Amino acid sequence: MKLMNYVNGQWRDNPDTKFTAVLNPANGEELAQVPLSTAKEVDEAVLAAKAAQKKWAKVPAPKRADYLYDIGRLMKQKKEELAQVLTKEMGKVIEEARGEVQEGIDMAYYMAGEGRRLFGETTPSELADKFAMSVRAPIGVVGLITPWNFPVAIATWKSFPAIVAGNAFIWKPATETPMMAYEMAKIFEEAGLPPGVANIVFGSGSEVGTAMIEHPDVKVISFTGSTETGRKVAEAGGRNLKKISLEMGGKNAVIVMEDANLELAVEGILWSAFGTAGQRCTACSRVIVHKDVKEALQNLLLEKTSALTIGDGLDESVKIGPVINKGALEKTHSYIGIGQEEGAALLTGGKILEEAPHDKGHYYAPTIFTDVAPDMRIAQEEIFGPVISIIEVGSFEEAIEVNNSVIYGLSSSIYTADVNRVFKAQRDLDTGIVYINAGTTGAEIHLPFGGTKGTGNGHRDSGVAALDVFTEWKSVYVDFSGKLQRAQIDNDI
């Protein structure tokens, strides 16, 4: 199957376009061919989006939201079909794929509700017979660049607020996972979204992404991906005076204090560390444990890890799917040598699974390092694979300090029974998301999603905060005095 761009409500192909194969990471099977579009296709999409946006901005927000209710309903109807495609192209296990599609459905209904709110503010004027208010205005054409690890959910975090706020968008999905975008384009079409409001241009970041960032008519770039790429997006976007919203890496930790429920903590760690084969920006990759319970926690972790089944995510009994591609496999594996050289002890895993039934896909054994020092590379750098580092600490204060000692600040978690520690932790953990007695993953769509430090640049996806990315404040003054009233001058009442 050859995928086509979706521009101005049409499926477009170009005889000169080159393609690349989309491969199932579980078995290497070719699923589709994805176009590698060029700046020309981006220009065409922006032109269509610009024309469509002018009309779309005039559609009342509750009516714009009606399309999102339809999109949500269609996603719900096709939930299983979408989840199957998602597992095939991305590799995550089917249960998680269903969860991800559900995240998109939730976002559709949540943002549809915003169509009847999109609250602004009324403010007293300093002058008599004058009315002042601030309203949220659409921005125009916006560019969305999304990653392969959450090909549908993250796209909905960005595209749905963009739609309800009255913008038109160009979406560049990751070339590894274009099929979910293709499915979403079909849903946009079926929901009758006016042509040009939603446009999808497939291709690489260096070609399509760059063309979007450089285009003068694209006013916002909302990007999720690595910190390294995000920095380039910010630099190019800055030069072009764009609003840039970045969601990037993480080095998330679970803290386990001596008063924690260890069984519960282990379940949370395994789910957050090895779910999605560790390929979430929220994945747990450090376990910071109090010395009194380190041994017990380690033993439990080892026992439960050995029971995890690894394989094709379409098999309902499988708990860990493949990593996305060979590059990811190699990058993950390179950290084993790095960790060992630094003096960490490998407790389990540390290998690429190469024998049947794992020989055709990209499978990595869930890996646990212990005796890790907080400043080792394995405890500082984002690996984005199923690897955790256990770090021992002697106190609550030290645990917080170690948690905050990385350049990232996305998610953190603490297991403790002490209510004072709970409140101190939620205040002092320097991350955009904090969990108490739960792992580092599982953010809900109606709360802001994002992080501090090297994880972001102050913006948030999802939640009501997403509207701040896709709207601009407009302050409106209505003078009904019938005479010239001068602010700051005629105000001595």
For the bound state, the minimum distance from the C-beta of residue 153 to ligand UN1, rounded and expressed in Å, comes to 6
In the complex, minimum distance from the CB of residue 103 to ligand UN1, in angstroms, rounded to a whole number: 6
**C-beta of 37 vs 413, nearer to ligand UN1:** 413
Report long-range pairs for 65-68 (Cβ below 8 Å, ≥24 apart).
65/111, 65/112, 65/113, 65/114, 65/115, 65/116, 65/164, 66/112, 66/115, 67/163, 67/191, 67/192, 67/193, 68/108, 68/109, 68/111, 68/112, 68/115, 68/160, 68/163, 68/164
Nearer to ligand UN1, 392 or 461 (CB): 461
Nearest distance, CB of residue 325 and ligand UN1, angstroms? 17
Q: What is the Cα–Cα distance from 154 to 341, expressed in whole angstroms?
A: 36
Classify residue 275 by its DSSP letter.
G
Which residues contact ligand UN1 (rule: CB under 6 A)?
Answer: 103, 149-150, 153, 280-282, 441-443
Cβ–Cβ < 8 Å for 88, 24: yes
Q: Which is nearer to ligand UN1, 226 or 261 (CB)?
A: 226
Q: Indicate the residue among 35 and 313 with the shorter CB distance to ligand UN1.
A: 313
Shortest spacing between CB 312 and ligand UN1, in angstroms:
22
Nearest distance, CB of residue 247 and ligand UN1, angstroms:
8
Determine which one of 96, 100, 247, 382 is catalytic.
247
Dihedral (C-alpha) 425, 428, 433, 437: value to the nearest 10 degrees? Answer: -10
CB half-sphere exposure, 166, CA atoms < 13 A: 20
Determine the Cα–Cα distance for residues 96 and 175; give it in Å rounded to an integer: 21
Residue 251's nearest CA partner among 91, 372, 97 is 372
Q: Is 341 a catalytic residue?
A: no
Kindly report the three-state secondary structure assignment for every residue of 329-377.
HHHHHHHHHHHHHHCCEEEECCCEECCCCCCCCCEECCEEEECCCCCCH
Which one, 120 or 442, has the nearer CB to ligand UN1? 442
Q: List residues with catalytic annotation.
A: 247
